[in-house]
Amino acid sequence: MKRFWRNSLVALTGLLLSATALAEQAPASVRIAIVAYTQGGKPVFGGIAGRVIEDGWLEQQLNQRGVKLDWIALPHAGAGPQINEGFSNNSIDFAVRGDLPSVIAGAGGVPGKLIVPGGSGNNIYLVVPAGSEAKSIEDLKGKRLALHRGRPWEFAFSNFLASKGLKLDDFKIANLNPQVGAAAVSAGKVDAAVLLSEAYALEDKGVGKIIWSTKQGANDWRLVSDLWGTDSFVAQHPDITQLLATAWVKAAWWISQEQNQDAYYQLSSRAGTAESVLRRDDLNDPVAWKERWAPKSDQQLKAHYQALTAYALANQLIRDNYDITPSLATGFTNQALIDLKLTDYWPGLRGQVSNNP
């Protein structure tokens, strides 16, 4: 009997030590960085992040584990360098980052794992001043064009140029972020600007007009952003990483349902973009609403990032080749699809999700 109690005490002590170790291993917080709009001194998040916050499931799951959820708002200008610095010094744990900046970061040795691939991406627009006589990209050859270099939309726009037998060197490029570029085109200081959905706001104000968008191009020309995590956090806290991946996929699934489309626009309009602009951004889009939110498969990711790497090398944005394969941690996305019973929800992913992470 004494041996029994002694063995039981040893076992109990072991369990207590294990529980203590697990408690010590749990992070104090999960820090997620994302570009956001500030209103009244407080950041407001739209899109998938906004839905994750509104749903509350992730925060609830983390609270049960004694982990705080911190959202870090980044300005549109300079978000990429801030994310890269945060990943290098572990001051952030996760971030939504564009595809071309991710190639530049990876080729530069910035650590990171791609956790949840983005969907089909967002559209970009070529806008000219309202009084411009330009009707096509050919009309702008040799003219001043605002384009924020090294950002996701550069690859999309360069693909468009190539389809017309043109290249960036055929224009006088002003390296301006979309907000400054929008102001420049409305003031007539540039002959055109590559912008995001703010292009519609310029049309509403009567100071600009759209002469081309990715709605008229190939689907893989669009602006794509993915959810990335730091190497150290993903390795040390795979359970927490899985919670985030599941919350992200769950939010994408909710948004992708047509009956939630109006609620999505209302949610995202709080982040600084008028609901009418958001709706027009999606109007006549060649990619069906549901498919826009489907995570890319590994095969799609590898092909996309390979093309991005070739472009970055050719345009001297990076010095060394970059292979996305070692950075893919999409097993978390696969597991989320399995746990949420969504393996057959998006047609493009059917038969590509396995139980192996």
- 134 domain-assigned: yes
- 194 domain-assigned: yes
Q: Are residues 111 and 196 in the same domain?
A: no
The CATH number given to whatever domain includes residue 189 is 3.40.190.10
Q: Are residues 228 and 97 in the same domain?
A: yes
- 258 domain-assigned: yes
Q: Are residues 97 and 228 in the same domain?
A: yes
Q: By residue range, what is the domain housing residue 139?
A: 125-221
- 96 domain-assigned: yes
Q: Are residues 172 and 283 in the same domain?
A: no
- 16 domain-assigned: no
DSSP letter assigned to residue 317: S
Q: Are residues 112 and 243 in the same domain?
A: yes
CB 349 within 8 A of CB 294: yes
For the cut 70, the answer to whether the pLDDT of residue 5 exceeds it is: no
Tokens for 144, please give them: 């001043």
- 50 domain-assigned: yes
**258-290 pLDDT per residue, tens:** 999 999 999 998 877 889 999 999 999 999 999
Residue 83: partners with Cβ closer than 8 Å, 6 or more residues away = 33, 74, 92, 95, 97, 101, 105, 228
Closest CA to 155 of 24, 348, 309: 309
| pLDDT in the model for residue 25 | 81
Percent of the chain exceeding pLDDT 70 equals: 92
Final residue belonging to a domain, choices 206, 221, 236: 221
Final residue belonging to a domain, choices 221, 249, 275: 221
For the cut 50, the answer to whether the pLDDT of residue 356 exceeds it is: no
CA distances from 36 to 59, 186, 229 (A): 19, 24, 18
Q: Are residues 216 and 240 in the same domain?
A: no
Question: What mean pLDDT is reported for the chain?
Answer: 88
DSSP per-residue string spanning 26-78: S-SEEEEEEE-EEETTEEE--HHHHHHHHH-HHHHHHHHTT-EEEEEEE-STT
Confidence of residue 115 (pLDDT cuts 50, 70, 90): very high
Q: Please give the tally of structural domains in the chain.
A: 2
Residue 325: partners with Cβ closer than 8 Å, 6 or more residues away = 302
Final residue belonging to a domain, choices 174, 193, 221: 221
Q: Are residues 135 and 189 in the same domain?
A: yes
155-159: list long-range contacts, CB under 8 Å, 24+ apart.
155/99, 155/100, 155/221, 155/307, 155/308, 155/311, 156/124, 156/214, 156/217, 156/221, 156/222, 156/223, 157/124, 157/126, 157/194, 158/311, 158/315, 159/217, 159/218, 159/221
**182-210 pLDDT per residue, tens:** 999 999 999 999 998 889 999 999 999 99
- 94 domain-assigned: yes
**314-339 pLDDT per residue, tens:** 989 999 999 999 999 999 999 999 99
Tokens for 18, please give them: 């294990």
Q: Are residues 194 and 228 in the same domain?
A: no
Alpha-carbon torsion (199, 204, 206, 212), positive or negative:
positive
Q: Which residue has the higher pLDDT, 7 or 61?
A: 61
CA distances from 330 to 47, 96, 193, 251 (A): 20, 15, 35, 17
Q: Are residues 110 and 135 in the same domain?
A: no
Q: Are residues 248 and 116 in the same domain?
A: yes
| CA 323 – CA 29 distance, rounded (Å) | 31
- 13 domain-assigned: no
**283-313 pLDDT per residue, tens:** 999 999 999 999 999 999 999 999 999 999 9
CB 258 within 8 A of CB 250: no
| CA 310 – CA 81 distance, rounded (Å) | 21
| pLDDT in the model for residue 354 | 58
Q: Are residues 233 and 334 in the same domain?
A: yes
**117-149 pLDDT per residue, tens:** 998 888 999 999 999 999 999 999 999 999 998
Mean pLDDT of 77-98: 90
Q: Are residues 240 and 333 in the same domain?
A: yes
Tokens for 50, please give them: 């906004």
For the cut 90, the answer to whether the pLDDT of residue 2 exceeds it is: no
Q: Given the structure tokens 């499931």, which residue do they identify?
A: 57
